[in-house]
Chains A and B, each alone.
Chain A
Amino acid sequence: MSEIFDAIVVGAGPSGNAAAYTMAKAGLKVLQLERGEYPGSKNVQGAILYADALERIIPDFREDAPLERHLIEQRMWVLDEESYVGTHYRSNEFNKQPYNRYTIIRAQFDKWFSKKVQEAGALVICETTVRELLLDGERVIGVRTDRDGGSIYADIVVLADGVNSLLAKKAGFHPELEPKNVALAVKEIHFLPETTLEQRFNIGADEGVVIEMVGKITKGMVGTGFLYTNKESLTIGVGCMLSDFKQQQITPYALLEQMKAHPAIKPLLDGGEMKEYTAHLIPEGGYNAIPQLCGDGWLIVGDAGMFVNAVHREGSNLAMTSGQLAGQTVVELKTHNQELTATNLKLYKHKLDASFVMKDLKKYKNLPHVLHQNRQFVTSYPELVNKAAHEMLVVDGVDKKTKEREIRKSFVAKRSWFGLMGDAFKLWRAFE
């Protein structure tokens, strides 16, 4: 006879770990299944950790979590082929503890988080893929894994299986992911000595820098590039909408290669040795693409629920918070001897609505659409802005007033005044 658990969590990424941790800590009998060799082995390496979400789950995480560097500087670059215009924001405020953002290596971080989950009492089993959900009518009663004797039962199954949740799809909870709702990101880690990194970015030990990039590097596709400093490596990557890749017939790999060759980026990578190359999907459909989040005996958390804030490149924090809220929901219902039915589990949805997760996603709900419809944001504007900067900075005997006029003219030539105003309004509306 197979065992019965209070809860089965599928997936050991940030969302699954948060859910399993919360439930195990409250004394529930939790089983977590992960198909990777160990938690984190399947996860894209190198990321930014937003401390707040984790702090609410494990308040003293700073004591032993594998953190690379805390971020003290944020750069935003708008690039054309030859140059970039950008802002750098560095503040000593970011050097005051407790730090707010860190770079992490996901493989290590997820492993650490999983250790906490196990210490909290959950049974964590890796190298085991959940093939399908076991149903009794509408109700999810367990999972079937790829191993002999692999049917396991539980009162609730938490789907934390990441973007493109095959399980939810198979059970009919989830429609097929649309290419316009998901980005494909590629990432590399380049190994560089600590001292080189610190000199190159003008940072001290443990301090880090992140660079966000938009513009010509994405070849007219909606997307961003990013670069950040780990302890002794750099993470560099670029992500664009899957639908755009399909349309433009550019391979992600080629895109990253070209980005790395950009005159502003190349020197930053100089001398590094590429350690890893990974590609992963990011659900970026935003608020309007969120699927059904719960039903009889099941809940969806993290990427599987489309909880990614593409504008601020936040994902793991939404994943952890949604996992925690799902865990709390189950614990509360169980404590009050309430059944884990679709109706009762709506509590999860209410908790999400009241949290930053839904509030932020709601705020940007029109952005994906606006960007899709208005390519100028990633094509003409970067070029115009760079040209303008160039024009103003070159001292060539032309007076500044004439230069300004030329710049204005170049903008209007590309896009009518009306268009420019409209774009500004659209963006303002999307971000507002």
Chain B
Amino acid sequence: MHIVVCIKQVPDSAQIRVHPVTNTIMRQGVPAIINPYDLASLEEALRLKDKLGGRVTVLCMGPPQAESALRKALSFGADEAILVTDRAFAGSDTLATSFALASAITQIQKDMPVDIVFTGKQTIDGDTAQVGPGIAKRLGLQLLTYVSKIDGVDLDKGEIVVQRRAEGGAQVLRTRLPCLITTIEGINDIRFATMPNMFRAARYALKTWDAKTAGVEDLTKVGLKGSPTIVSKVFAPQTKAQKAELIDSEGRKPRDLALTLVTKLFTRHPKLRDEINSRAL
């Protein structure tokens, strides 16, 4: 079995700060991490490999610094790592990114057919959740999003059964391979790398592909040219927090208290009052 896991290196959003004066996002000094959703994918892929054997290839499109993310993935136990990096990709949105990754996966297939492609549900820096589905569509893979558990893979039948987080419950889905799975966060914990894998990751001769090697011939489909999305402005929302007010409840009846509370709420938000009044009618 051959599994491709797409990973992205993202700034650790927990450590991103907003400049107090200019209100811009300060990226300086923010550590880069593997997108947490992708780590969940990687762990699922490694577990499948532990059970069924085969190969796990990690694929990353990004700047040269993303090498560290790939080495980390190798240390957890991935077999191969490919960094797709080219100036031509700079500024790619989700449409262009899924195009580039789909092309790269097509190239990877030439070496060994791919049964499952994993991506995270979304990235923590873009939050679009579009790249995984984009790749599936382009490669004609069965698409399983929001997956929380893989119940089983039957390689002989070419089938997979997964659980999918859906509104108000879980769905159990069976589909045929090859497929693309996007995972949600918190479904597993990434393993602790062994010493031999640390050595292997540190010494691994990373495969670096430019646009051409990744099979991208038409450069108008990637980078800024291939990206219809325009980020016109990035800013931090104004915090709206207002001072809390404590209502003294000492020795007061609940009804009385509730009335005070509602009156205060309605005074501050007259629209709310109007709406509730209109519904009550």
Contact = CB atoms under 8 A, between A and B. Distances in A.
Contacts of B19: 273
B195 A123 contact: no
A147 interface: yes
Contacts of A93: none
A37 to B, nearest CB: 7
A150 B195 contact: yes
B266 interface: no
B193 interface: yes
Contact of A149 (B20, B29, B194, B203): B194
A148 interface: yes
A66 to B, nearest CB: 12
B195 A128 contact: yes
A145 interface: yes
Nearest to B198: A125
Interface of B: 19-20, 29, 31, 192-196, 198-199, 202-203
Contact of B29 (A123, A128, A275): A275
A273 B199 contact: no
Interface in A138-181: 145, 147-152
B219 to A, nearest CB: 32
Given A37-B31, A275-B29, A125 B202 contact: yes
Contacts of B192: 147-148
Given A37-B31, A123-B203, A148 B194 contact: yes
Contacts of B31: 37
Task: Please give me the 7 A-B residue pairs with the lowest Cβ-Cβ distance, nearest first.
Answer: A148-B194, A147-B195, A150-B195, A149-B195, A149-B194, A149-B196, A125-B198
21 contacts: A2-B195, A3-B199, A107-B29, A123-B199, A123-B202, A125-B198, A125-B202, A127-B193, A128-B198, A145-B195, A147-B192, A147-B193, A147-B194, A148-B192, A148-B194, A149-B194, A149-B196, A150-B195, A152-B195, A273-B19, A273-B20
Contacts of A148: 192, 194-195
A19 interface: no
Interface of A: 2-3, 37, 107, 123-125, 127-128, 145, 147-152, 273, 275
A124 B202 contact: yes
Contacts of A150: 194-195
Nearest to A128: B198
B202 A147 contact: no
A134 to B, nearest CB: 13
Contacts of A3: 199
Given A125-B198, A147-B193, A149-B195, 5 more contacts: A147-B194, A147-B198, A148-B195, A150-B194, A151-B195
Contacts of B20: 273
A125 B199 contact: yes
A312 B198 CA distance: 40
A145 B75 CA distance: 15
A149 B194 CA distance: 6
Nearest to A276: B29
B129 to A, nearest CB: 28
Contacts of A149: 194-196
A123 B194 CA distance: 16
Nearest to B193: A147
A203 to B, nearest CB: 21
A123 B203 CA distance: 8
Contacts of B198: 125, 128, 147
A341 to B, nearest CB: 28
A143 to B, nearest CB: 11
A128 B193 CA distance: 10
A274 to B, nearest CB: 11
The residue among B192, B195, B202 with the most chain A CB atoms within 10 A of its own CB is: B195
B150 to A, nearest CB: 24
A62 B110 CA distance: 47
Contacts of B203: 123
A284 B198 CA distance: 36
A123 B195 CA distance: 13
A154 to B, nearest CB: 14
A310 B194 CA distance: 40
Nearest to A41: B31
A37 B195 CA distance: 15
A273 B24 CA distance: 14
Contacts of A151: 195
A124 B75 CA distance: 13
Contacts of A2: 195
Contacts of B196: 149
Nearest to B26: A191
The residue among A107, A124, A148, A150 with the most chain B CB atoms within 10 A of its own CB is: A148
Contacts of A107: 29
The residue among A125, A145, A151 with the most chain B CB atoms within 10 A of its own CB is: A125
Contacts of B29: 107, 275
A128 B19 CA distance: 34
Contacts of B195: 2, 128, 145, 147-152
A147 B203 CA distance: 17
A123 B202 CA distance: 7
A275 B17 CA distance: 9
A152 B195 CA distance: 9
A295 B20 CA distance: 54
Contacts of B199: 3, 123, 125
